[in-house]
Structure 1
Amino acid sequence: MQAEYRQVAGVAQVLPSPAVALGTQGAAIDWWLRFLVDPAPSVGLAAAGLRSGRAPCIRAGGELLGELGVIDYRTRQLASVEPARFAHRDDEWWARVSYALALLAELYRAPRVDGSRLMRLNPADGAAQLLALANADEVADLVAMRDLAVKRLLPALPPGQVVSGSTFEGSADLNADADLIVGGMLMDFKASQGGRPRSDGTRAAALSRADLDQLLGYVLLDYSDAFRLDAVAIYAVRFGHLQTWPLRELCTRMAGHPIDLALLRKQFAVLLRR
Structure 2
Amino acid sequence: MSALTDEVKDPASPVALWLRSTFPDHKEIQKSFRVAAGPQQLLMPATVAPGTQGAAIDWWLRMLADGAVTLRLPLGGLMKRPGPWGEAGLELLSELGGIRAKVDRPVVGPLTPGQFADRNDEWWARVCYALALMGELFRAPVENSRLMSLSESSRAADLLALANDAEVADLIAMRDLARQRLLPSLPAGPVASGMTFDGSKDLNADADLIAGGMLVDFKAGQGGQPRADGTRAASLARSDLDQLLGYTLLDYSDRFGLHTVAIYLARFGYLGAWPLNELCTQLAGRPIDLTHLRAEFAEVLRGPLRTHWNQRSR
The equivalent of 1:6 in structure 2 is 34
Per-residue deviation, residues 180-214 of structure 1 (Å, max 9, x unmatched): 00101111000010011112221110011110000
Q: Tell whether the 8 Å contact from 2:53 to 2:129 is kept in structure 1 after alignment.
A: yes
Counterpart of 1:215 in 2: which secondary structure?
A: helix
Query: Is structure 2 residue 225 aligned with structure 1 residue 196?
Result: yes
Q: Tell whether the 8 Å contact from 1:190 to 1:237 is kept in structure 2 after alignment.
A: yes
Distance 1:210 1:65 in 2: 33
Per-residue deviation, residues 25-59 of structure 1 (Å, max 9, x unmatched): 00000000111110001011001001123432111
The equivalent of 2:78 in structure 1 is 50
Query: Is structure 2 residue 192 aligned with structure 1 residue 163?
Result: yes
Q: Tell whether the 8 Å contact from 1:185 to 1:232 is kept in structure 2 after alignment.
A: yes
| Mapping of residues 76-225 of structure 1, within 5 Å | 76-110=106-140, 112-225=141-254
Among residues 291, 296, 302, which one is paired with 1:267 in the alignment?
A: 296
Counterpart of 2:263 in 1: which secondary structure?
A: strand
Distance 1:194 1:55 in 2: 35
The equivalent of 1:60 in structure 2 is 88
Among residues 36, 49, 57, which one is paired with 1:29 in the alignment?
A: 57
Distance 1:55 1:16 in 2: 30
Distance 1:122 1:71 in 2: 21
Counterpart of 2:62 in 1: which secondary structure?
A: helix
Distance 1:74 1:104 in 2: 21
Counterpart of 1:65 in 2: which secondary structure?
A: helix
Distance 1:232 1:74 in 2: 37
Counterpart of 1:68 in 2: which secondary structure?
A: helix
Distance 1:123 1:93 in 2: 23
Distance 1:162 1:186 in 2: 10
State the Cα RMSD in Å.
1.2
Task: Give the CA deviation at 1:74.
Answer: 8.2
Q: Tell whether the 8 Å contact from 1:32 to 1:146 is kept in structure 2 after alignment.
A: yes
Distance 1:144 1:55 in 2: 32
How many percent identity over aligned positions? 62
The equivalent of 1:232 in structure 2 is 261
Task: Give the CA deviation at 1:109.
Answer: 1.1
Shift in alpha-carbon separation, 1:55–1:73, aligned structure 2, 3 A? closer
Q: Tell whether the 8 Å contact from 2:209 to 2:215 is kept in structure 1 after alignment.
A: yes
The aligned amino acid for 1:118 is L
The aligned amino acid for 1:188 is D
The equivalent of 2:23 in structure 1 is none
The equivalent of 2:22 in structure 1 is none
Counterpart of 1:166 in 2: which secondary structure?
A: coil
Distance 2:253 2:263 in 1: 23
Distance 2:284 2:182 in 1: 29
The aligned amino acid for 1:10 is G
The equivalent of 2:47 in structure 1 is 19
The aligned amino acid for 1:243 is G
Q: Tell whether the 8 Å contact from 1:54 to 1:113 is kept in structure 2 after alignment.
A: no
Task: Give the CA deviation at 1:73.
Answer: 5.3
Q: Tell whether the 8 Å contact from 1:170 to 1:222 is kept in structure 2 after alignment.
A: yes
Q: How many residues are aligned here?
A: 273
Shift in alpha-carbon separation, 1:212–1:90, aligned structure 2, 3 A? same
Counterpart of 1:167 in 2: which secondary structure?
A: coil
